[in-house]
Structure 1
Amino acid sequence: MEVAFLKESRTTKRSFVLVAVILAMFMGAIEATIVSTAMPAIVADLGGFSLYSWVFSSYLLMNAATVLIYGKLSDIYGRKPVLIIGIILFLIGSFLCGFAVTMEQLIVFRLLQGIGAGAVMPVAMTIVGDIYTPEERAKVQGYLSSVWGISAVMGPALGGLLVEYVGWRYIFWINLPLGLLTIAGLFFFLHENVEKKKPTIDYLGTFLFLVTISSLMYLLVEGGVQFSWLSTSTVLLATVVAIALSLFVWQEKRAAEPMMPFQLWKVRSILIANIVSFTTGVLLIGISSFLPTYVQGVMGENATIAGFTLTAMSIGWPLASAVSGRLLLSIGYRKTTMIGGVALIIGSGMFLLMTKESGPLWAAFSSFFTGVGMGLTSTAFIVSIQSSVEWEQRGAATAANMFMRNLGNTVGAALLGGVLNSQLQAYLLNQPAENVQSLSIDSINQLLGSEKSGFSPEVRNVLMEGLETSLHTVYFVVFLFAVLSFAFLLFLKKSD
């Protein structure tokens, strides 16, 4: 099967297709960092700090829900049409996000954006797995991760500059020219000879997954804020999650073409890669989503400085990815991922020790080590997984790994957003001064905007201390997930 595809790939202009894939990866990198940098400005403009995490969660929910479907569809209809359709949906969502006038509208448009984004990363990386030989993949995947990281360097910086001098709405519209160029490259230069198959899509599995994750997200974000953890609402939501999850597992085991191909998980390296992708996904969203808020709201820096602290992660990621391909060949899969796991612990530990006096440089170094850990582990996971399956399963296998990271992002955004909101609300309610007790979570809107000068010094200090205390709780959870990731990596065979 591999030989047959390589013969067909001669009609495909690999260099041009690679450029199109790089543009798609660039678009994904920009999306992953530029929105985080702009969120304080968006909250200051639209209000609704209590809905902060939903801007990420809504996007990530639909991304995670659709990534496996796109992987399966790409195995049936080919990579080209599936990726093009996904990009079109992503661009429509991006266009509408720029016109949002309320936080609720932005969340809805982010849902649409997430539906399209589910196709971008997994199918783009699967195309590379198709058109390059196994011997070439480690090197090319390293280059791809490097391009992703290098382009992500521009995300925080560009986001900060756009927010400062143009407006936050342009962070969404910047996707439009990138997406159109990607579509053109794929349309003209990627040629596939796909054997048509009767599509069998696991719609029931998809529905059950959506019910499970959306219910879990709502419970994690609003629990302890909108309703008590010991309330009837908590019990009902937990029951829905448990039943829907059980039905989802049952459906996946009986479906002819399951949404989640559990048989692939029987390979230990794939199993560990998918589990660790989930835990690092939680870690990654915790840092990328909330670091700009810490730098601006606690340290008092501007959006551009906050963006550069995230840029450091994007520098560490490509550097480590470039090295990862060589390490895989010299010291093996297990040792490469273990080094990455140690870097994740160092980075998250530095975030845990960070204070407002530490300054942006400390935040940047923390981001850098986290990026090194992500670069080493993610590149190794993709190369290992794609080398373990045949062409017919490569799209589903790659998408399954992306799905687990996206699921980690989704659960992480909800979990850590809930931690932030509940801790901040508890902190404000426990303040003795009456003028402080009247404050709410959404008072942070003003702290992140230009109206913070309207606060008295006492109130401003309480809000900053509350935000700092709450974010430190978030970073403690992030650190626990870094330790958990390393613990799972210990289960890899020494021969890997």
Structure 2
Amino acid sequence: MTESAHLHVSHRGWILFACMLAMFMAAIEVTIVATAMPTIIADLGGFSQFGWVFSVYLLTQAVSVPLYGRLADMWGRRKMFFIGTSLFLAGSVLCGFAQNMLWLILFRAFQGLGAGAIMPLSSTIVADIYSPRERASVQGWLSSVWGVAAITGPLTGAWLVEHFSWSLIFWVNLPIGLMSMALLARFLPAHCAEEKSQPLNVTGSVWLMLCVSALLMAMLQAEWLGYWLIAFLLLALFAGWQLKKHELRADAPLFPLEIWRSRLIIAGNAGNLIIGAAMMGISAFLPTWIQGITGGTPLQAGSTLAMMSIGWPLASTLSGRLILRTSYRFTAQIGALLLILGSALLLLLRADSSMLQAGATAFVIGTGMGMTSTTFLVSVQNHAHYDIRGICTASIMFSRMMGSAIGTALMGAVLNLNLAQRLPQAQDPVQQIMSTQSRSALSSETLHHMEQAIAASLHWVFVVALVIALFAPGVAWMMPRQRPERTE
């Protein structure tokens, strides 16, 4: 099927709206859950498994993205979108019924398997029905989804947990997802995408899952594993080696090897790895600081995260204009410096810090992320040939997801190790200060000691975030000094 044949689709506006709904549902998932996590921990306990709630979702989402891309080419976009979205919604329902942290982690893994279809297939469907000339204006609508979701996600999560049950943060996905599926079932042709016979790289996906899972397990449960930590690290290395061997001889590798021969594409993926790690570290642990250390409410924690989310789309818009007037490298370096500045400001937070200070810090971090992420994505898409532009975009998504999973796992491990050293006798200390009932049962002296220990532990998490951000200028330097029109 040719490019022009894709344009003969009626009701393109409704199809675009359906894809925007799906993207909105996926975009708010991380921030809305991050805002509600302190409340969930207070109810379910198990803070030592805190990082897995985010990491396992991102892990299963990341490894399923290449498979959904292959299956969409073979069986059609609509069918695979329905399958993936159905899995996501089923996982969302189950998460709301979780009775302990272990079941929540398992249901989040199931939810992530469906989430791997939503973002890439929504983008592919939009690309199928609009011409290259029209896609430039359509991107403005798609970008607005991220801006709206970034603001409403934390605020909605905070409002729901404060006035209702935390289960609703998962169940709000149902009406959005069902409406998106109904619109696509009505208006999107069943075979809008070209069907091709391509083999599935299931073996590569299994090795990838094994490698990353073993690595995350080693980082998250380092103090609990003891000498078994070495075994998990060796397993991760072995699986990674097998993955490399398999990919070199595979007929259909997870990501074509030629895209890794470009310095610019490598830099774009490395930059998104850094952004993903820094983003999830702040999104996951800053609400814990606000509610546990400063005594803020879920709404205040959500408002602080919203400041980061406001800075992101504003900086993304500004970076698009700055790239045209300067270069990819200059714009990426400005964003990297803002990311470092914001991460450094996290270290200035104290127990008596105001919400204004925390919000300003989150805003600076958001501007750094927005400016760097847009620059890396635009540069890769403009550099890549049309035939591999889709898989290059998928590689950017994959890198950011993996960065988010690894960043959350690494910072969670740092926090758990610090808590084990500072509060060796305490049983789930973060849950004790988060839960109103447990907190009121503690003496003022014990409560003060626990808060000081947890604050010191979180500061080391913020140190790790700063160290990760320090790698951003080096990656930004790999960007070309040309403007977009010169590289096209």
**Where does residue 486 of structure 2 map in the other structure?**
none
Q: Does 1:445 align with 2:431?
A: yes
Q: Does 1:309 align with 2:299?
A: no
- Distance in 2 separating the partners of 1:357 and 1:284: 24
- Quickly say closer, same or farther: Cα 1:102–1:393, change in 2 above 3 A: same
- Distance in 2 separating the partners of 1:266 and 1:347: 33
- Distance in 1 separating the partners of 2:473 and 2:72: 33
- Distance in 1 separating the partners of 2:86 and 2:386: 26
- Quickly say closer, same or farther: Cα 1:164–1:105, change in 2 above 3 A: same
Q: Does 1:23 align with 2:26?
A: no
Q: Deviations over 1:99-119 (max 9, x none)?
A: 111111111100100001111
- Distance in 2 separating the partners of 1:49 and 1:36: 13
Asked if structure 1 preserves the Cα contact closer than 8 Å seen for 2:6 and 2:130, the reply is no
**Where does residue 380 of structure 2 map in the other structure?**
385
- Quickly say closer, same or farther: Cα 1:77–1:388, change in 2 above 3 A: farther
**Where does residue 278 of structure 2 map in the other structure?**
283
**Where does residue 170 of structure 2 map in the other structure?**
172
**Where does residue 473 of structure 1 map in the other structure?**
460
**Where does residue 53 of structure 1 map in the other structure?**
51
- Quickly say closer, same or farther: Cα 1:164–1:318, change in 2 above 3 A: same
In structure 2, what residue type is equivalent to 1:450? T
- Distance in 2 separating the partners of 1:77 and 1:163: 40
- Quickly say closer, same or farther: Cα 1:137–1:272, change in 2 above 3 A: farther
**Where does residue 488 of structure 1 map in the other structure?**
475
Q: Which consecutive residues of structure 2, in runs of 5 or more, have no partner in the other structure? A: 484-488
**TM-score scaled by length of structure 1:** 0.92
- Quickly say closer, same or farther: Cα 1:106–1:206, change in 2 above 3 A: same
- Distance in 2 separating the partners of 1:146 and 1:317: 11
Alignment of 1:97-176 (within 5 A): 97-134=95-132, 136-176=134-174
Q: Larger deviation: 184-193 or 483-492?
A: 184-193
In structure 2, what residue type is equivalent to 1:302? T
Q: Larger deviation: 79-88 or 385-394?
A: 385-394
Asked if structure 1 preserves the Cα contact closer than 8 Å seen for 2:128 and 2:193, the reply is no
Q: Does 1:240 align with 2:226?
A: no
Q: Larger deviation: 66-75 or 313-322?
A: 66-75
**What displacement does 1:142 show?**
4.5
Asked if structure 2 preserves the Cα contact closer than 8 Å seen for 1:315 and 1:371, the reply is yes
**What displacement does 1:322 show?**
2.6
**TM-score scaled by length of structure 2:** 0.94
Alignment of 1:67-86 (within 5 A): 67-86=65-84
Asked if structure 2 preserves the Cα contact closer than 8 Å seen for 1:292 and 1:306, the reply is yes
- Quickly say closer, same or farther: Cα 1:256–1:492, change in 2 above 3 A: same
**What displacement does 1:265 show?**
1.9
Q: Larger deviation: 252-261 or 353-362?
A: 353-362
Alignment of 1:263-342 (within 5 A): 263-342=258-337
- Distance in 2 separating the partners of 1:337 and 1:32: 25
Q: Deviations over 1:125-154 (max 9, x none)?
A: 333444445455455435423321222211
Asked if structure 1 preserves the Cα contact closer than 8 Å seen for 2:414 and 2:461, the reply is yes
In structure 2, what residue type is equivalent to 1:222? Q
Q: Which consecutive residues of structure 1, in runs of 5 or more, have no partner in the other structure? A: 430-437
Q: Larger deviation: 143-152 or 415-424?
A: 143-152
- Distance in 2 separating the partners of 1:63 and 1:382: 20
- Quickly say closer, same or farther: Cα 1:155–1:193, change in 2 above 3 A: closer
Asked if structure 1 preserves the Cα contact closer than 8 Å seen for 2:65 and 2:117, the reply is yes
Q: Deviations over 1:267-293 (max 9, x none)?
A: 222111111111111101100011110
**What displacement does 1:491 show?**
1.4
In structure 1, what residue type is equivalent to 2:8? R
Asked if structure 1 preserves the Cα contact closer than 8 Å seen for 2:95 and 2:108, the reply is yes
Q: Larger deviation: 393-402 or 291-300?
A: 393-402
| % same residue | 42
Instruction: Count the aligned residue pairs.
Output: 481
- Distance in 2 separating the partners of 1:337 and 1:140: 24
CA RMSD after TM alignment:
1.9
- Distance in 2 separating the partners of 1:469 and 1:185: 50
Asked if structure 2 preserves the Cα contact closer than 8 Å seen for 1:252 and 1:258, the reply is yes
**Where does residue 434 of structure 1 map in the other structure?**
none
Asked if structure 1 preserves the Cα contact closer than 8 Å seen for 2:328 and 2:375, the reply is yes
- Quickly say closer, same or farther: Cα 1:12–1:343, change in 2 above 3 A: farther
**What displacement does 1:338 show?**
2.4
Asked if structure 2 preserves the Cα contact closer than 8 Å seen for 1:143 and 1:322, the reply is no
SS at match of 1:226: helix
